[in-house]
Amino acid sequence: MSGFLSSSLARKYAMALSAFFLIFFLLMHVTINLLSVCSENAFNVASHFMGTNPLIQFAMQPILIIGVVFHFVMGFVLELKNKKAQGVKYFKDNGAANSTWMSRNMIYSGLAILAFIVLHFIDFWIPELKYKYVDVLPEDPNRYFHELQHKFENPLRVGAYIIAFVFLALHLLHGFQSAFQSMGLNNKYTKGFEKGAKAYAIVIPLLFIFIALFHHFNH
Amino acid sequence: MNLTLKIWRQKGPNDKGQMVDYKVTDISEHMSFLEMMDVLNEQLVAKDEEPVAFDHDCREGICGMCSMYINGEAHGPDRGITTCQLHMRMFKDGETITIEPFRANAFPVIKDLVVDRMAFERIQQAGGFISVNTSGNTQDANAIPISKHAADDAMDAATCIGCGACVATCKNSSAMLFVSAKVSQYALLPQGQVEATDRVLNMVKQMDEEGFGNCTNTGACEVECPKGISLENIARMNREYLAASLKG
């Protein structure tokens, strides 16, 4: 088993499985955010549930953080190992002739997403922790929608979010279908997975951008 | 055609090496790329200079010996060909062509454009075979029923000539396409099932020990492969390896 865990293929499986987990989380996140466009009350109810349910707070949230950290750390480890395997660089290398920009630059789109997650934590997660565990303010089930609207008043923040979601789309365009390939799901019966993964990679970031713009222009 | 060639020159494994410019004139567009290299070498020999060392053998795309990185692509700008099948009509008169050896830590340069690809041989030795008892009672392979689909896929995988273009073109210097083709050609056939578990575990272990990088599914290997080996083989190897690891 130790041979398996240290193998290059085990690293591929680990990256793919953590990617599937994060992709599922994104779907859940965008679904709840979309509620804010449809109904203030529905968004508050969902956010209140997510923010106070012990199972979400003390089981799912730590798992999510571990998943995010693992995916990033493993991504950097793989990048360093691959750089080491390359040896001398080519004098002329025409990568665009045989692969997409997204596939060759996952580390950079990943770094942009990492920067966004830091911003997102500063914007939402840290104030939430402060509200609950530092200031120990009484829980107000109706505060979430107005907090969200307030965040998207600043056009600079909205711009930063839009840029980050473009990088997210680029990362997913290669990453999602690549995760299927890593898990061995690429044969004549699975061609639909690739199309579905590409659709997801475009639609989900577009929805996040729409939500940010919606609240910017409707506060 | 008159051309400027920028060629990697390296006296030996421990030499630092550098790009050197050469001019070649009156090159016919009907020449193969290696014939053009022969013309250059004749010029160099006539001037009492060291000719450019490069690998070649059959010169008809079968042996997998030729291995040049031309204008930033393994085997040059054409598709589904080896360097020996590349023709000068793919280039323009007056063009500057860069020619480099296949690059990867696992493929160290021996001299100029010649690299050591013995790592592939060691991976093959680790499991790329079927043990057959040649006692005189060996069953005729044609007597074993095999579906057309499996036979076709196994044959497609078996067309890999082990040239190393997949490694050379991969930004991670990964050998997954080569190894997966060798795993697949046996995994798809009933004769390969007996040793399937050991084969995939041992070949992947050897691949990792040789220092190849990790595949990130860019697909560049599939595009540059002279034999069109499909990424589906890598997916098959990923399934085989997972199943073999669970089986132990």
Same domain, B143 and B64: no
Q: Decide if A97 and B238 are in contact by the 8 Å CB cutoff.
A: no
Q: Give the whole-angstrom CA distance, residue A195 versus residue A203.
A: 12
Check CB contact of A141 with chain B, cutoff 8 Å. no
Q: Which of B32, B242, B3 is nearest to A11 (CA)?
A: B242
Contact list, B117 vs chain A (CB under 8 Å): none
Contacts of A115 (CB under 8 A, 6+ apart): A164
CB pair distance less than 8 Å for B212 and A85: yes
Q: Is A69 within a domain?
A: yes
CATH of the domain at B61: 3.10.20.30
Judge whether A8 lies within some domain: no
pLDDT for residue A209: 98
With an 8 Å Cβ cutoff, is A3 touching chain B? Answer: yes
How much is the pLDDT for A6?
Answer: 84
Total structural domains in chain A? Answer: 1
Q: Which residues of A184-209 are buried (b: 16+ CB within 10 A; e: fewer)?
A: bbbeeebeebbeebeebbeebbebbb
Is there a single domain that holds both residue B70 and residue B93?
Answer: yes
Please give the residue range of the domain that contains residue A145: 16-82+103-217
Residue of B nearest to A88 (CA): B103
Domain boundary among B79, B111, B143: B111
Strand B68-70 to B73-74 pairing: antiparallel
Cα–Cα distance, B44 to B33 (Å, whole number):
17
The verdict on B189 and B143 lying in the same domain is: yes
**Domain end call among B88, B111, B134:** B111
Q: Do B18 and B105 share a domain, yes or no?
A: yes
Contact yes or no for B105/B97 (Cβ under 8 A): no
Q: How many CB pairs under 8 A join A and B?
A: 141
Domain membership of residue B205 as a residue range: 117-247
CA B166 and chain centroid, separation: 6
Residues in chain A: 219
Which ipTM was obtained for this model? Answer: 0.93
Do residues B93 and B1 touch, judged by C-beta distance below 8 A?
A: yes
How confident is the prediction along chain A (219 residues), in pLDDT tens digits per residue? 567 778 999 999 999 999 999 999 999 999 999 999 999 999 999 999 999 999 999 999 999 999 999 999 999 999 999 999 998 999 999 999 999 999 999 999 999 999 999 999 998 889 888 888 888 888 888 999 999 999 999 999 999 999 999 999 999 999 999 999 999 998 888 888 989 999 999 999 999 999 999 999 987
Amino acid at B38: D
> What is the pLDDT, as a whole number, of residue A2?
60
Chain B residue closest to A184 (CA)?
A: B235
B235: nearest Cα among A194, A73, A84, A80: A194
Regions of chain B with pLDDT less than 50: none
A87/B104 touch (CB, cutoff 8 Å), yes or no = yes
Instruction: Indicate yes or no: CB of A92 within 8 angstroms of CB of B100.
Output: yes
Are B169 and A98 an interchain contact pair (Cβ–Cβ within 8 Å)?
yes
Return d(Cα A125, Cα A56) in angstroms, integer. 14
A187 chain-B contacts, CB cut-off 8 A: 232, 235-236
Number of domains in chain B: 2
User: Both tokens of residue B142?
Assistant: 């044609």
DSSP A143: S
- CA separation for the pair B201, B179 (Å, rounded): 11
Distance of CA B77 to CAs A19, A146, A214, B208, Å? 34, 57, 47, 30
**For position A219, what pLDDT does the model report?**
74
**Which residue is it, tokens 């085990």?**
A10
Residue A14: other Cβ atoms inside 10 A: 16
